[in-house]
């Protein structure tokens, strides 16, 4: 097909401003280049980003690939146009070209190909064979001759690499290419084809070495071709010649196809996902994401006993879960442990992204999955200031109660004690040094330093620092920091700076909590269903109202939410803050003024309805993919 004909097959959907979508630009670029592109090239030439971290590059490109059926991962960090019927073609109906090379060394360019052997597998059996010696146009090292038996005399007068490679390309057609240790053969073939013909191999690759490592872990002592051929009892045994080695690899591949079929890996796309050079070791579990919808929601990874291993939330459930198994996936220790044991994935669709965030929080709270770290509610540790008569700073476990002197709530004991030490360096309470108590981490040898103020002054500043109006105490904090450094109570090294930064982080959390307790706002979220929006009423650190609305009837529901908000009273500043309020507050920051309507102290319901109308109209107009209703998920079955 001509280049213009290929471009005609790319429907260039456009945004409202007439610019092609990113995936369309990528497809057109792949057609023009005539070869797959690496992740870094796509980020630079399509996304036009510079200095982007590699992990972020993979995530960005993975979103493009997962969102467009015309694109496919053809290897680690390698994206190309998906072959016809890529996702649905059964392995038994596909053609595979298994190739093996003999070379003069291990580096393309300085070393040359001396023999190409290949066989075609169709219908899970070998149907054709191809073999040719190649004149490397240079002497063959004696060590290579002893290993392969190929001598200078044998290759004299044989085709040069350009002609031999043209014959191989004609034999291979558009088949999926397969080799044992495929990166080695791929480097040589790609280098020589680019040098001699200016072309690239664009079809996907499979690596039987990768398949062996993933399917036979612990079953064989080594994964070299000779050991695997003995394990599989192949008819043809490898002998360091291209055609016999290709035939042995083909027999091995057919054996692996049977093992993959037992794991429900039956399509070309899934086989390439697990067998592509450098792909992720759990790629064969990609099938678990096939039935997931594209709606927002939460997903639960379960082991074979049905126990929940990991809970996550997603804007697009199918795309998020598939990203765990693609070549661009990189995972930490805990999620890697979950993927090892993963046998099934349950999900719950949500009406909006905030609903998904709240559902994730509740599932983490109720199920406590072992492979989650972020988002797990943990014990609260408090830094408490005792009475003014004998003021001391203590670290206490548990939630605060009214008037108990709590200054800060911290998630871990270690962080709480570190912050307390910094506070003592900045506000050296005399009583804390006269009455050391080892149970609370006091430092009896610490000198309070030369200070002109007394304990009541320091106590007043400490209380004001975590209060709702910290502007003035924050200015005094800077002066105390300089005084503590000059007096030697706080170091200027990395430990001293990190301790002070930890204090500032906890103070920001405390100040944000005061803001949340004084705030009333309407948050408008686009709904998963087209033409719908979800409106949340948030008042004084609590979600007091929620409604799914459309453009025709929204006013009645929002009016009801506003009346509930008007009747809601502020909670005491010392009461624990609902974790869901923190989630909602973070979501309001993400949505910004376009999705959040701040309400003043005097709530005018009519004015609020008029002000929120535009936000609801924009949310209802946002493009969303309609999904069929999802089966109800019962979290208690874990």
Residues 6+ apart with CB under 8 A from 633: 300, 346, 347, 348
Q: Are 423 and 393 in contact (CB under 8 A)?
A: yes
Give the separation between CA 210 and CA 280, rounded to whole angstroms: 10
Measured CA angle at 543 (ends 507, 466), to 5 deg: 15
CA pair distance 621, 624, nearest whole angstrom: 9
Beta bridge pairs of residue 525: 534
How far, in whole angstroms, is CA 268 from its chain's centroid?
Answer: 25
Angle between helices 353-367 and 579-591 (to 10 degrees): 150
Contacts of 412 (CB under 8 A, 6+ apart): 378, 381
- Indicate if 240 belongs to the active site: yes
Q: What share of the chain is helix, strand, coil (3-state, %, to 5)?
A: 45, 20, 40
CA 47 to chain centre: 18
DSSP 59-112: HHHHHHHHH-TTEEEEETTEEEEPPTTTTT-BGGGSEEEEEEEEESSSSBTTB-
The CA–CA distances, whole Å, from 580 to 283, 357, 402, 531 equal 35, 9, 21, 27
Please return the burial class of 475, using the count of CB atoms within 10 Å of its CB with bins 0-12, 13-18 and 19+.
Answer: exposed
Q: Hey, which bits of 501-556 come out as E strands?
A: 520-526, 532-539, 543-550
- CA angle at 391 for the pair 388 and 393, rounded to the nearest 5°: 135
- CA-wise closest residue to 391 among 426, 444, 425, 433: 433
Nearest by Cα to 591 from 621, 558, 618: 618
Report the C-alpha gap between 511 and 339 in whole angstroms: 39
Active-site annotation holder among 15, 223, 240, 331: 240
- Pairing state of beta strands 205-207 and 176-179? parallel
Please report, for the chain, how many H helices and E strands are present, in that order. Answer: 23, 18
Residues pairing with 394 in the sheet: 384
Distances 568 to 348, 558, 610 between C-alpha atoms, Å:
31, 15, 21
Closest-CA residue to 177 (of 101, 261, 68) = 101
Q: Which of 397, 363, 369, 362 is nearest to 383 (CA)?
A: 397
Taking Cα atoms as reference points, which of 129, 263, 251, 107 lies closest to residue 180? 251
Where in the sequence numbering do the catalytic residues fall?
240
């Amino acid at each position: 097909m001509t280049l213009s004909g290929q471009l005609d097959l790319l429907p260039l959907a456009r945004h409202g401003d007439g610019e092609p979508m990113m995936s369309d630009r990528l497809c057109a670029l792949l057609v023009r280049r005539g070869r797959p592109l690496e992740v870094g090239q796509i980020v630079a030439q399509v996304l036009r980003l510079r200095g982007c971290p590699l992990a972020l590059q993979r995530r960005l490109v993975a979103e493009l690939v997962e969102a467009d059926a015309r694109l496919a991962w053809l290897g680690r960090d390698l994206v190309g146009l998906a072959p016809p019927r890529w996702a649905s073609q059964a392995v038994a109906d596909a053609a595979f070209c298994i190739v093996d090379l003999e070379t003069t060394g291990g580096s393309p360019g300085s070393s040359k190909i001396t023999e190409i052997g290949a066989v075609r597998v169709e219908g899970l059996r070998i149907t054709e064979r191809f073999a040719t010696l190649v004149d490397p146009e240079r002497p063959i090292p004696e060590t290579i001759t002893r290993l392969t038996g190929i001598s200078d005399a044998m290759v004299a007068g044989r085709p040069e690499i350009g002609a031999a490679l043209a014959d191989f390309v004609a034999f291979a057609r558009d088949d999926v290419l397969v080799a044992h240790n495929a990166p080695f053969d791929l480097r040589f073939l790609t280098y020589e084809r680019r040098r001699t013909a200016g072309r690239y191999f664009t079809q996907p690759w499979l690596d039987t070495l990768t398949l062996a490592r993933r399917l036979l872990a612990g079953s064989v002592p080594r994964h070299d071709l000779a050991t695997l051929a003995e394990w599989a009892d192949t008819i043809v045994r490898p002998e360091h010649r291209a055609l016999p080695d290709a035939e042995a690899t083909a027999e091995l591949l057919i054996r692996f196809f049977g093992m993959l079929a037992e794991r429900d890996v039956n399509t070309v796309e899934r086989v390439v996902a697990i067998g592509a050079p450098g792909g992720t070791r759990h790629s064969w579990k990609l099938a678990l994401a096939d039935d997931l919808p594209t709606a927002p929601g939460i997903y639960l990874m379960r082991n074979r006993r049905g126990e929940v291993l990991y809970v996550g939330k997603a804007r697009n459930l199918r795309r998020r879960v598939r990203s765990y198994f693609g070549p661009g996936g990189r995972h930490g220790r805990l999620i890697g442990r979950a993927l090892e044991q993963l046998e099934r994935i349950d999900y719950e669709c949500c009406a909006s992204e905030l609903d998904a965030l709240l559902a994730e929080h509740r599932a983490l709270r109720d199920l406590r999955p072992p492979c989650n770290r972020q988002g797990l509610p943990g014990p609260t540790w408090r830094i408490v200031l005792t009475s003014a008569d004998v003021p001391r700073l203590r670290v206490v476990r548990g939630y605060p109660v009214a008037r108990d002197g709590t200054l800060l709530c911290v998630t871990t004991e270690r962080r709480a004690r570190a912050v307390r030490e910094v506070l003592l360096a900045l506000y050296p309470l005399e009583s804390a040094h006269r009455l050391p108590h080892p149970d609370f981490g006091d430092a009896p040898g610490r000198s309070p330093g030369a200070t002109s103020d007394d304990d009541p002054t320091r106590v007043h500043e400490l209380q004001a620092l975590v209060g709702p109006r910290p502007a003035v105490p924050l200015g005094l904090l800077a002066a105390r920091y300089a005084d503590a450094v000059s007096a030697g109570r706080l170091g200027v090294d990395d430990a001293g700076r990190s301790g002070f930064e930890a204090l500032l982080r906890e103070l920001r959390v405390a100040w944000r909590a005061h803001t949340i307790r004084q705030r009333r706002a309407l948050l408008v979220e686009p709904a998963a269903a087209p033409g719908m929006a979800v409106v949340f009423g948030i008042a004084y650190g609590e979600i007091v109202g929620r409604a799914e609305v459309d453009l025709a009837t929204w006013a009645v529901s929002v009016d009801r939410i506003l009346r509930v908000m008007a009747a809601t009273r502020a909670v005491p500043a010392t009461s624990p803050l609902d974790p869901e309020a923190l989630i909602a507050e973070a979501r309001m920051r993400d949505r910004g003024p376009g999705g959040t309507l701040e309400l003043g102290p005097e709530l005018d319901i009519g004015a609020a309805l008029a002000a929120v109308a535009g936000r609801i109209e924009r949310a209802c107009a946002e493009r969303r993919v309609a999904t069929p209703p999802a089966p109800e998920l019962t979290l208690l079955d874990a």
